[in-house]
Amino acid sequence: MFAYIVRRLALMLVTLIGISIIIFVLLRVVPGNIVDILFDAAGFVDPTDKANLEKELGLNLPIYQQYLNWIGGLLHGDLGYSYVSEKPALQEILPRIPITARLAALALLFSASIGIPLGVLSAVHQGSRLDYALRVVSLSGLSLPSFWLGLLILMASVSLFGSMPIYNPNPKTWTEALAIYAVPAMAVGFRSAALTMRITRSSMLEILRQDYIRTARAKGASEASVNYRHALKNAILPVITVIGIEAAFLIGGLIVTETVFNIPGVARFLVEALRWRDYPIVQNLVMLIAVVVVVANFTVDMLYAAIDPRIRYGD
């Protein structure tokens, strides 16, 4: 097990170095930089001003030098300065992390707490009206883009309640505080919940047909015990895999949701930084996301062993 963990950690490091090179090079392959964008607003390019600005921002250096400067800074905890706000990148990124983390955690919680029980219900009542209804719900969740769902929610709240749950850094009541996170979390988590529901259902259906389930029933175990103690425990493994993958994919959904609900989180900030070609922000944010994804995958793999005693790493 120990050898496996060390091997995985080494692999994580290699992956992160690879990602850092890819993102660094890709950013510079994309046409235009911050200087072009600043001059774009002015409607013309002054070559002298442009050269001065590129020099000031270090964009005139060879690309390998820029990369080494960035990685060197990163290792010393210096993430550089945002080209746009001229503030330290860390100062720009840090306050946004808890906002997105809260939203992502709520979305995952919503996804698991809705998706798993409904998936079990759907499997246990296979072929019933309830099963059909839940399958329609899960298909809708997979089909509805989260931005559209978000807008629908906003329009509905304006038309029904005359207000809308867009972000407010200083909510006046706890209900407002809950609404500004919970509603977008539901919008972005609906797709995940639908996927979780489907995976739970199919996994449960497979398990419910196993011999040991029949044995459990034969020895007089209650339906609840059969479904939740015997079946779900064994059906949950692929569900955890999916939730782990969804956690990684969530960032894509969050970009749209943060934009629609005007939440100043990391995901929307990343898109804005990309638009401005704010390299220090984009590079560091992508690295942060990469670390989160790699660690999430690692955690899921470790969870396998904890949940399923049959799995042993490194044997």
Our CB check for other proteins shows the closer of 46 and 133 to be 46
Question: Nearer Cβ to other proteins, position 231 or 254?
Answer: 254
Residue 42 or residue 75: which is nearer to other proteins going by CB? 42
- Which region among 2-10, 219-227, 261-269, 297-305 touches other proteins (by CB under 8 A)? 261-269
Our finding on whether 44 is near other proteins (CB under 8 A) is yes
151 or 303, CB closer to other proteins?
Answer: 151
Residue 162 binds other proteins (CB under 8 A)? yes
Select from 187, 226, 260, 293 the one that contacts other proteins (CB under 8 A).
260
d(CA 20, CA 188): 28
What is the amino acid identity at position 45? Answer: V
- Scanning 13-21, 216-224, 259-267, 304-312 for contacts with other proteins by CB under 8 A, the matching segment is 259-267
Name the β-bridge partners of 88: 81
Q: Measured in whole angstroms, how far is the alpha carbon of residue 247 from the centre of its chain?
A: 4
Answer yes or no: are the C-beta atoms of 280 and 81 closer than 8 Å.
Answer: yes
Q: Report d(CA 60, CA 52) in Å as an integer.
A: 9
Kind and range of the H or E element at 159? helix 146-161
d(CA 181, CA 186): 9
Q: Is 276 in the site for other proteins (CB under 8 A)?
A: yes
Q: Pick from 264, 302, 304, 313: which binds other proteins (CB under 8 A)?
A: 264
CB atoms within 10 A of CB 177: 13
Q: Among 17, 26, 40, 225, which residue interacts with other proteins (rule: CB under 8 A)?
A: 40
Q: Are 242 and 198 in contact (CB under 8 A)?
A: no
- Phi and psi at residue 94, in whole multiples of 5°? -50, -50
Residue 31 binding other proteins, by CB under 8 A: yes
Which of 9, 21, 22, 36 binds other proteins (CB under 8 A)? It is 36
DSSP per-residue string spanning 43-98: TS--HHHHHHHHHHHTTTS-HHHHHHHHHHHHHTT---B-TTT-SBHHHHHTTHHH
What are the distances in angstroms from CA 263 to CA 120, 165, 299? 33, 10, 28
- Binding letters toward other proteins, positions 51-90, x by CB under 8 A: -xx--x-------------------------x-xxxx---
The verdict on 252 binding other proteins (CB under 8 A) reads no
Q: How far is the CB of 105 from other proteins (least distance, A)?
A: 21
Q: How is residue 58 annotated by DSSP?
A: T
Which residues sit at the interface with other proteins, rule CB under 8 A? 31-33, 36-46, 49, 52-53, 56, 82, 84-87, 92, 151, 154-155, 157-159, 162-164, 166, 169, 259-262, 264, 268-269, 272, 275-277
